[in-house]
Amino acid sequence: MSAKLATSRLGPGPIPVRAGIGLRAEHYDVLLETRPPVGWLEIHSENYFGAGGKPLDYLERIRAHYPLSLHGVGLSIGSTDPLNHWHLTQLKRLIQRFEPALVSEHLSWGSAGGRYLNDLLPLPCTEEALYHLIARVAQVQDILGRQILIENISSYLQYTHSTIPEWEFLAELAERAGCGVLLDVNNIYVSARNHGFDPDTYLRAIPQRAVQEIHLAGFTVNRFEGGEILIDTHNQPVCPAVWALYRQAVQRFGPRPTLIEWDTGLPELAVLVNEAQQADAILEERHARAA
């Protein structure tokens, strides 16, 4: 990238069209010492909801060197429970303090009757759920005073009363709530294998202008008696089939900021940086072709 990025009082501003990595506590020190050439960092917002201490202290120092994206895992935006305003207040405080270029949540729910399962649970793809989501996303964007991105999740079940394909549901949500899409290519692959649809159908349904970020990660195959199921575990490298689907996505949507996610069995930072470089190479090919 030859263009110089604008820098806020905190550090670099916009997310460059490059690969970034998820920031995890185990990597704080080595990241500060070595400052690897990744384009940007993404955090799980809730890990920084505390009032003080080391997480916020490290984030402050790291933010000085990298553009930042906030990725929420606990808002439960698709729940029919009232929106959790305490959660949103903490998210807003984090946004004001660290000025992230992107803020994202999931196309999911995670709580019912005030009990949280702290998981990303699938919504039925019905008109009722779609209208609910449109209203909730609009409400969250109003409260935060900014656009958010909504990410497609991996799912392990489909409801018998769903009437709309998930890709149409997400496209419609983006169109009508005015949110962006965080397209998780690994999640498309996992759900496609689990439910037997063509991932290309998913990619073709999502409007190009809505996609502002892409996620990549590794999954695990669990074998059951009578079948197998892919679980979105974020515990290994991106597999060749997902790299291939990523090339297709970049082909269709154009180069987009791309994140390597790794959450469990976290390897050395260098492994993540290497994965990010592979994504960068694919983005570069597309840049070069466009030039």
Partner 1 sequence: MLALHELQQRFATAVLGEDDSGFERAIHAAGLTGAQRLQVYRNNTRLGLTGALAAVYPVVQQLVGEGFFHYAAAQYITRYPSRSGNLHEFGGPFATFLETFEPAAGLSYLPDVARLEWAYHEVFHAAHHAPLDLSALAAVPAERQGELRFQLHPAARLLESSFPILCIWQAHQNVDHDHPPVRLDDGGIKLMVFRHENLDIEFQSLPDGEFHLLYALVTGCNFATACEQAISAQPGFDLPASFRRHVLQGALTAFYLPDTSSSIHDHP
DSSP bridge pairs for 258: 19, 214
Kindly state whether residue 111 participates in binding partner 1, applying the rule CB under 8 A: yes
Kindly state whether residue 47 participates in binding partner 1, applying the rule CB under 8 A: yes
> Phi and psi dihedrals of 289, rounded to 5?
-65, -35
- Find the shortest distance in angstroms from Cβ 242 to partner 1: 20
Contacts of 120 (CB under 8 A, 6+ apart): 73, 106, 108, 110, 153, 154
Kindly state whether residue 121 participates in binding partner 1, applying the rule CB under 8 A: yes
Q: Which of 6, 224, 288, 291 forms a contact with partner 1 (CB under 8 A)?
A: 224
Q: Which of 19, 70, 123, 170 forms a contact with partner 1 (CB under 8 A)?
A: 123
Q: Which of 50, 65, 135, 201 forms a contact with partner 1 (CB under 8 A)?
A: 50
User: What is d(CA 212, CA 203) in angstroms, rounded to the nearest whole number?
Assistant: 14
Take residue 10 and report the two structure tokens written for it: 């905190």
Binding mask 134-163 for partner 1 (x = CB under 8 A): ----------------------xxxxxx--
User: What is d(CA 133, CA 80) in angstroms, rounded to the nearest whole number?
Assistant: 9
User: What is d(CA 132, CA 211) in angstroms, rounded to the nearest whole number?
Assistant: 22
- CA-wise closest residue to 187 among 161, 212, 150, 216: 216
Kindly state whether residue 90 participates in binding partner 1, applying the rule CB under 8 A: yes
User: What is d(CA 263, CA 30) in angstroms, rounded to the nearest whole number?
Assistant: 17
Q: Which of 95, 205, 231, 239 forms a contact with partner 1 (CB under 8 A)?
A: 231
Q: Which of 80, 89, 201, 208 forms a contact with partner 1 (CB under 8 A)?
A: 80
Kindly state whether residue 221 participates in binding partner 1, applying the rule CB under 8 A: no
Q: Which stretch binds partner 1 (CB under 8 A): 93-101, 125-133, 141-149, 281-289?
A: 125-133
Kindly state whether residue 109 participates in binding partner 1, applying the rule CB under 8 A: yes
Contacts of 138 (CB under 8 A, 6+ apart): 177, 178
Length of the chain: 291
Site residues (CB under 8 A) for partner 1? 46-47, 49-55, 57, 72-76, 79-80, 84, 87, 90, 109-119, 121, 123-124, 126, 128-129, 132, 156-161, 195-196, 222, 224, 226-229, 231
